[in-house]
Structure formats: C-alpha cells, structure tokens
Amino acid sequence: MFDFLDQIPYPVLIVVAIFMLLAPFHPMPHALEKIIMLKNGLLKRPIDIFDLFFHLIPLILLLIKASK
C-alpha cells in the first residue's frame, strides 16, 4: 500500500519532516501551536485541523516508513 515510500530516501524524508514541524519559524511553529490548541480543546475549526494534519504528514510518513 505504501510502496511509494520505498522510493523516498530517509534523509530527504527526515529533512522535510523537520522543516514542516518547524515552519513557520517565527513566532511559533504551526504544529506546536495546533497541538497546544488541541490540548486546550480549541482545535475546532476545519482549517486548523487541516493545518495540523498538513504539518504532520511528513512525520507520519517517516514513522510508517520506519515501521516497515
């Protein structure tokens, strides 16, 4: 099902995952901001949920690739 992950080298996936987790760099990374919103029960708007998922996609793909 995730055969396309075999074509993506680990270093590229790691760099993209780190970049997406930290973007934007100032004032606060979106992923961290959305996780704080989730913790506080404020993550309700669809755009915020999409934004969190969007920033976590490379990390999720990295974890799937590492677990294979």
Q: Which helix (H) or strand (E) holds 30?
A: helix 30-39
Place of tokens 């973007």: 23
Report pLDDT for 63.
Answer: 95
Report pLDDT for 28.
Answer: 87
Report pLDDT for 27.
Answer: 87
CB 40 within 8 A of CB 47: no
Q: What's the pTM?
A: 0.84
Residue range 7-64, pLDDT digits in tens: 999 999 999 999 999 988 888 888 898 999 999 999 999 998 999 999 999 999 999 9
CA distance 67 to 19: 21
Report pLDDT for 68.
Answer: 80
